[in-house]
Structure 1
């Protein structure tokens, strides 16, 4: 081996050692030595010493890594290099005395962020008490903030906890999870700020100030983990990558755990053959008459597949599946037979976040054959039928019906298959990483002089994972919309936040969609920073000839880029969607040119 190749290998080892500072604020590494060798197996082939070129022993490798950590962590400027808010990053680490220990740096950054969020919760309640008594919208905004900021702390905590069982074979999954959770933490903090829109006084600006530091720290953590993820794809260390790939292949061959097997059975079986944990029936033939009563019977901190069978009927109730009530399954008798409905809305004084008829906050939730509805109507403005603030959620053969802001894909990874979503303005919106396969987006008749937008994606930071992906879907008009004269303007979407990201691919677009395809939000806002793309669509509205010429719009993306937004890649769906038994295509789909779902 020549000296040039030696240097490349040594540089690679240094880069991997740099994980200790790249992930400081991202909270995902508790100690570097485990990255490069397993105590039971000895050193990983291919990691060489800098001088002699031989394989390092575990002891020498440990010494080498500790030296690299020490060198890397002596400068907070080096640690904070990948971040957008370098001053905040450096200040958060300035008080750490044991600078050689990466655990102390992780703890310092984590503690600073959490303390600042908890401070914002406490101070806002004190500062806004008088205003909240006078303005119900401020009171509602405070309630929203308390909920979402506590969830944001939870996200930071689970990033930190991930270090406790760090394993080399799962390094990619760990990085992906942490990116999702830090993106969620950012979204939740922004949701608090958004809740103060249209309130009186300067409460919104005050809250924005209170959340400035925790927002910047969370952003810095996300920048670090993103930088690290990029390194995983670019740094080549032969022995490490060989060993890692070998172990990953072994892991992929394992059978799914009992919960996954049970979920597969219940999603592929005839509903009548499934033995649920609880039956809900309005006629009294089940254990409970309401969904909320059924949820109250679920064990706290549930973490096993728990099936609630909801018999046919219209359930007039507001349902929240709370945080940490995980792996809940709602199983209905059909989306037009089993329906959950409400009518909370913005015009009558409820903030958008709180208008949801059904809110999902427990990870691993699944719904099949259910209808979700907000019946407030177009004149009531924002009125959410379903809000999803939970990771790894799945919806199969569901109907989600409202007008403005129908489906709030709020945060984390989400998958929708064979669903129908109806609405008018921004009716699929939010900042989750949400993939829709074989779904219908049906545009309803808006109020007079209103335009309709199918999507309004809300990615706030350029490193966030959020985006809306429509794959092999159909964008269709409701019959009442077709009869309008003059016709309403209909667009694929508009940018709710600065880095809005939406991909429409392999889908059928009917001819009622405006030739320009996409609408601005407010003047030139986000037109350069958004990321919109169309790929291999069909139908009379699919031509991109007359589309917008914004800098952020990608008229022609490659097959390789489109592949990055398929669910197997974008939301790691092979790991959690595939075992569920829901119909699922990991990559690009086989689509006939004539196919649509009208």
Structure 2
């Protein structure tokens, strides 16, 4: 007993120091914006004046990508206050100010942008950067409430939100691909400061997460997860909500085209959600083809949407990139509110292969659960843009990159059906977009089935299909315990452009079956990994969602946290 107590005390002491290190490390990076702001504004400060960084500062900045900026900026900011929390607040406020300055600059660029796509790209940047500012703000709050008994929760939230800020800035820049004029180059220059900030911040938090992992603080973590199995607002009745027959669900709103509900369109219902609504807030969408563009806004947190079935309740649209619409704007159904849950619905974009990028469903919903839904399109069907998302028993059809994005995404027991592309086009199932190596985003296909639809089947060996390609440098995709039909080319994976990401991506296949799972002809890039069961296990949802999977279990959808059999 005595030895155990001493060990526990030592562990608590070390973790207490680690908590302080977290604050200090985040300070080290977040105040890095200070130097950049001064450089733009002529606010003084020579290299000599910034040379007060100590060995401790150097150590704190060691994990960061932009070490010089980190060290100089921390030394300068340390002259003003020694209160760690105040420094964190100042650092993130400076980061937010930097992003606000970017928004102001984008407003100026709008006046000179003649290309309509570039002008719309700038507007999208505004919205994305505002969201990044919000994520920085809640990161400040998370640090302020840091509780060592819930360390994994705090660290996972911080990593999720900081990676999202990296993602949104990258998404902003992506909006200028194939546009004309100077707006894209100017925006890339404007974002340099905030990109350095968020990358360094993510590196610092990732470093601390590894410290916790090295101490194997697993017992307390399991206790923490057991104590927080369900959120406090969830009643036993609400836990059974998604297990019920949709017809018998007591909904807060009903949408029905035949007039049997309060609203005839989904957007009418969304617009009528009270600002101070209860959570969960249930919307029943009865059978029908809903030809509308739907956006669930940030304010609509905790919405549960229930249809009558994948083929019965359908939301359809046809916006597409070929018609001059930005990719994110092509989504038939988009959700940016946290804790969105949906079941028994279908979402489609009917633009066809000739429409190029044409999204059926775009999600930026943190802790989102999607069950028994269908997503039908061609290129870019399902856009899992950011945060943490779980899909179970879903069907996704498409041609190119038809599951893509930078969320921590698990598709469990789903069907991925490849459709016939345009002549001379290859088909690619996934395109994961991790930009920063410290992020945890990934696309995980677990116990899924990849097959060809009837129209594609005759040309599957001419228009070859691949498991994925790297949208960004650190693209991460795992295919495990899945059935791969013979449409998958022997090479398995396809480059994006040249050698982009081939050495830095992280792709793995584990215990898949079917003729398309044969490994003999697979590409031999440096980023292709051969993993054992222990290594692959961290990509199962019970491990990938580091803080635990209570937000999935609370919905009562069918769910396996660990391995599933093929």
Instruction: Give the 3-state SS of the residue equivalent to 2:197 in structure 1.
Output: helix
**Contact 1:25–1:109 under 8 Å retained in 2:** no
Match for residue 224 of structure 2 among 245, 248, 254: 248
Which residue in the other structure is 1:429 paired with? 404
Q: How much has 1:235 moved relative to structure 2? A: 3.1
Report which stretch shifted further, 257-266 or 524-533: 257-266
Residue of structure 1 equivalent to 2:85: 103
The 8 Å contact of residues 253 and 262 in structure 2, kept in 1 or not, is answered as: yes
**1:328 — aligned with what?**
303
TM-score, normalization by structure 1:
0.85
Provide the C-alpha distance between the structure 1 equivalents of 2:79 and 2:261, rounded to a whole number of angstroms. Answer: 61
Q: What is the number of equivalent residue pairs in this alignment? A: 536
Q: How does 1:443-482 map to 2 (within 5 A)?
A: 443-482=418-457
Query: 1:478-529 CA distances to partner (integer Å, 9 max, x unpaired)?
Result: 1000122863111000001000000000000001110010001111111000
* Corresponding position of 1:235: 215
**Is 1:76 the equivalent of 2:57?**
yes
Measure the CA separation in 1 of the matches of 2:326 and 2:550: 35
Match of 1:392 in 2: 367
Query: Contact between 2:461 and 2:487, CA under 8 Å: does it hold in 1?
Result: no
Structure 2 unmatched runs, 5+: 1-5, 29-51
Whether 2:337 is the aligned partner of 1:357: answer no
Q: Aligned pair 1:163/2:137, yes or no?
A: no
Deviations 1:49-104 (A, max 9, x none): xxxxxxxxxxxxxxxxxxxxxx9988533332221112332344323434432113
Asked if 2 retains the 8 angstrom alpha-carbon contact of 1:302 and 1:324, the reply is no
| Cα 1:323–1:245 shift into 2, 3 Å | closer
Question: Where do 5+ consecutive residues of structure 1 fail to align?
Answer: 1-5, 29-70, 592-598
1:47 aligns with: none
CA contact (8 A) 2:360 2:381 kept: yes
Structure 1 residues 23 and 219: alpha-carbon distance in aligned structure 2, compared to 1, 3 A threshold: farther
Task: Return the offset for 1:424.
Answer: 0.2
Equivalent positions of 1:58-73 (< 5 A) are none
Alignment partner of 1:200 is 2:174 = no
Match of 1:126 in 2: 108
Cα distance in 2, alignment partners of residues 85 and 528 from structure 1: 21
1:145 aligns with 2:125: yes
- Given candidates 197, 207, 213, the residue that maps to 1:217 is 197
Deviation readout 1:170-196 (Å, 9 max, x if unpaired)? 111111111111111111111111111
Paired with 1:167 and 1:485, the residues of 2 have a C-alpha distance of 54
Q: Is residue 73–residue 102 contact of structure 1 (8 Å, CA) maintained in 2?
A: no
Whole-angstrom CA distance in 2 between matches of 1:244 and 1:482: 51
Query: Contact 1:516 / 1:547 at 8 angstroms: preserved in 2?
Result: yes
- Shift in CA distance, 124/255, structure 1 to aligned 2, threshold 3 Å: closer
In the other structure, the counterpart of 2:43 is none
Distance across 2 between alignment mates of 1:155 and 1:411: 12
Q: Which moved more, 1:292-301 or 1:305-314?
A: 292-301
Q: Which residue of the partner structure matches residue 376 of structure 2?
A: 401
For 1:73 and 1:313, how far apart are their aligned partners in 2? 66
2:234 to 259, 284, 288: 259
- Return the match for 1:560 from 534, 537, 547: 534
**Which deviates more, 472-481 or 83-92?**
83-92
Q: Within the alignment, does 1:529 sit opposite 2:504 as a pair?
A: yes
Aligned-residue offset at 1:575: 1.8
CA contact 1:444–1:477 (8 Å) conserved in 2: yes
- Mapped contact 1:260–1:580 kept (Cα < 8 A): no
Cα distance, 1:246 vs. partner?
8.2
Tell me the equivalent position of 1:43.
none
Would you say 1:579 and 2:563 are equivalent positions? Answer: no
1:116 aligns with 2:98: yes
Asked whether the 8 Å contact 1:421–1:442 carries over to 2, the reply is yes
Residue 314 of structure 1 and its aligned partner are, at CA, apart by: 0.6
The higher radius of gyration belongs to 1
Contact 1:261 1:579 in 2 (8 A): no
TM-score, scaled relative to structure 2: 0.90
In the superposition, relative to structure 1, how do residues 308 and 72 fare at CA in structure 2: closer, same or farther (>3 Å)?
farther
Indicate how the Cα distance of structure 1 residues 260 and 167 shifts in structure 2: closer, same or farther if over 3 A, else same: farther
Instruction: Give 2:470's aligned residue.
Output: 495
CA contact (8 A) 1:23 1:224 kept: no
Deviations 1:435-488 (A, max 9, x none): 011100000000001000000110000001111000000000010001228631
> Residue 329 of structure 1: SS of its match in structure 2?
strand
In structure 1, what is the equivalent of residue 323 of structure 2?
Answer: 348
Counterpart of 1:515 in 2: which secondary structure?
coil
